[in-house]
Amino acid sequence: MNPISLVWDVLFVSSSYTDNNTSKIILSSIENDTEYKPKTIMNWNMLVKGSKVARSGVTGGFRFIYEITELTVDEILKMSEEFNSYSHDLIANTNISIAEKLPLPLDIKTKKRFPTIGNLMLNVKFTNGLGLNDANKIKAAVNNQTKDTKDSLDPIREGKGSSSGLFSDSFRSALSNSYWFRIFPVGGKPLNDVNIRSAIGGSYDISFDIRDAVSNLVSESIGKWWDPLDPEELTLEPRLLVDYSSPINSNFDPINFYHQNKNVSNLIDNVLKIEAEQTNDQLMIDDLTYTLERITRGRRGKKQLTKDNGLMPGIEQGLIEREIIKPWFAEEFINCLAFFLMTRKPKYWRNGSAEIELLQPFSIDLIESLKEGY
């Protein structure tokens, strides 16, 4: 199964945002009043009212990440009940969800059950000037990496230093509501000893909705990738070939996405060059090469639907959407984001450490399906 985590969001009351003691008070309270130790803490970065400057964020809450891959369903339920019962005068509300680390590229089972709407966490770790020899350059890299990541890690943010121009309007239309977090390791320490001033990385929580994209591809592909069955033709063995090996005239065709652009080879070469300068680790270089080649190959092909898939005249569109177009688009959608994470800032974002996690509302049914599906 894919690694899963329990995500516990704890949001402060707005009147406490600018009080420097709030974070310490909450961390101390959670350390003393809860049984479980998170593997990671993220701080929810918010702007002071009336401020628009990237550096002027304040902590509006914490996101605690707990590893639960090896826990039983009962153990996870017990953990969730403890967090749901937690309260504090400085806390406005709390929420728990499940994060699933996605394989890159998506495997067959993951892309088939990938939801059409939800949230993703885009996570990167900082290099802290890895590979630099000059002390001033290292200091500059460390000082700038958080702000530069906040500006450039968000796929839909516009303005100086942003990355939105790398993506088509159609791709960006599937994304919305991005929220910035800084990442801090716990490392077994008491929570009130965690240094929440020195982040090891950054994360954006961003909403996605690929329903319009999938629907558009299905409707535009009629007569090009597939033809409807003849309702007058009676057969006990209906068959329908869907040939999506060639692009169609749709802005949602992945051929138009960032990971399929003409500069892919140059971007990959730059990543490998920087890795050689940073570590000269051949195993890492080989792993990066393998993963980048896989997520940029733009896999297309032909698939046949039969009665085993439930095929019958009149339901072709829905079946093609569920069985072929949605899983394929989901894979390329995630491939595009993964390529962005791996190539956008290799001097600032540690190669091999970027992650994409699927964030879903907490439910026992979800946890059971994730554990039983593999």
> Could you tell me the pLDDT band of residue 182, with boundaries at 50, 70 and 90?
very high
Number of neighbours of residue 53 by Cβ within 10 angstroms: 9
Domain span holding position 255? 215-329
| Predicted confidence (pLDDT) per residue in 330-371, tens digit | 999 999 999 999 999 999 999 999 999 999 999 999 999 998
With a cut of 90, say whether residue 263 has pLDDT above it.
yes
**What are the φ and ψ backbone dihedral angles of 65, each rounded to 5 degrees?**
-110, 120
Q: How big is the CA angle at 17 (ends 15 and 21), to the nearest 5 degrees?
A: 105
CA trace torsion 271, 277, 280, 282 (10° rounding): 20
Instruction: Give the number of domains in the chain.
Output: 1
With a cut of 80, say whether residue 374 has pLDDT above it.
no
With a cut of 90, say whether residue 47 has pLDDT above it.
no
In a domain, 346, yes or no: no
101 neighbors 359 (Cβ within 8 angstroms): no
In a domain, 238, yes or no: yes
In a domain, 249, yes or no: yes
pTM of the model: 0.94
In a domain, 304, yes or no: yes
Per-residue confidence (pLDDT) for residue 26, from 0 to 100: 95
Which pair of tokens denotes residue 265?
């080879």
In a domain, 368, yes or no: no
158 neighbors 245 (Cβ within 8 angstroms): no
In a domain, 13, yes or no: no
If you average pLDDT over residues 210-238, what whole number do you get? 93
Mean pLDDT score of the chain: 93
If you average pLDDT over residues 325-329, what whole number do you get? 98
DSSP 197-220: TS-SEEEEEEEEE-HHHHHHHHHH
Per-residue confidence (pLDDT) for residue 54, from 0 to 100: 45
pLDDT: which is higher, 371 or 247: 247
> Could you tell me the pLDDT band of residue 308, with boundaries at 50, 70 and 90?
very high
Per-residue confidence (pLDDT) for residue 119, from 0 to 100: 98
> Could you tell me the pLDDT band of residue 115, with boundaries at 50, 70 and 90?
very high
Per-residue confidence (pLDDT) for residue 57, from 0 to 100: 66
3-state DSSP: the chain helix, strand, coil percent, rounded to 5?
40, 25, 35
In a domain, 131, yes or no: no
> Measured on CA atoms in the order 170, 174, 180, 182, is the torsion positive or negative?
negative
With a cut of 60, say whether residue 55 has pLDDT above it.
no
With a cut of 70, say whether residue 51 has pLDDT above it.
no
pLDDT: which is higher, 296 or 230: 296
Give the SS3 label for residue 277. helix
| Predicted confidence (pLDDT) per residue in 264-286, tens digit | 999 999 999 999 999 999 999 99
pLDDT: which is higher, 98 or 52: 98
In a domain, 269, yes or no: yes
> Could you tell me the pLDDT band of residue 373, with boundaries at 50, 70 and 90?
low
- Report the share of the chain in percent with pLDDT over 90: 82
